[in-house]
Amino acid sequence: MVKSTYVLDLESAEALGRLARDWQVSKSEVLRRVLKNAIAGPVPDRVALFRQMQKAAGLSAAKADRWVAAVRGERRACAPRPEVNRR
């Protein structure tokens, strides 16, 4: 390990502290993880990945629309109905 000193702006220092608390690790470990992740490669395009999954599953836009309509219909059928007060 190499011991280093860095100067951070207040916002970055607070973010570092929050991540360390949330992850229950040291600030040094947060920096190591963030750096390792940063050099691992670019963040994948989530929309492109989603479309690849749709294509691999053979899910066309028409099939997706039919599925959404069916799920909405099932949810409406199972949803509790509000009581109507009739006088």
The structure's pTM equals 0.48
The reply to whether 19 and 33 lie within a common domain is: yes
26 CB-near residues (< 8 Å, 6+ apart)? 20
pLDDT at position 35: 92
In a domain, 84, yes or no: no
More confident residue, 33 or 46: 33
Whole-number Å distance between alpha carbons of 43 and 45? 7
Percentage of residues of the chain with pLDDT beyond 90: 47
In a domain, 86, yes or no: no
In a domain, 1, yes or no: no
Tell whether the model's pLDDT for residue 87 goes beyond 70: no
Helix axes 10-23, 27-40, angle to 10 degrees: 100
Tell whether the model's pLDDT for residue 65 goes beyond 80: yes
Structural domain span for residue 64:
46-78
Number of folded domains in the chain? 2
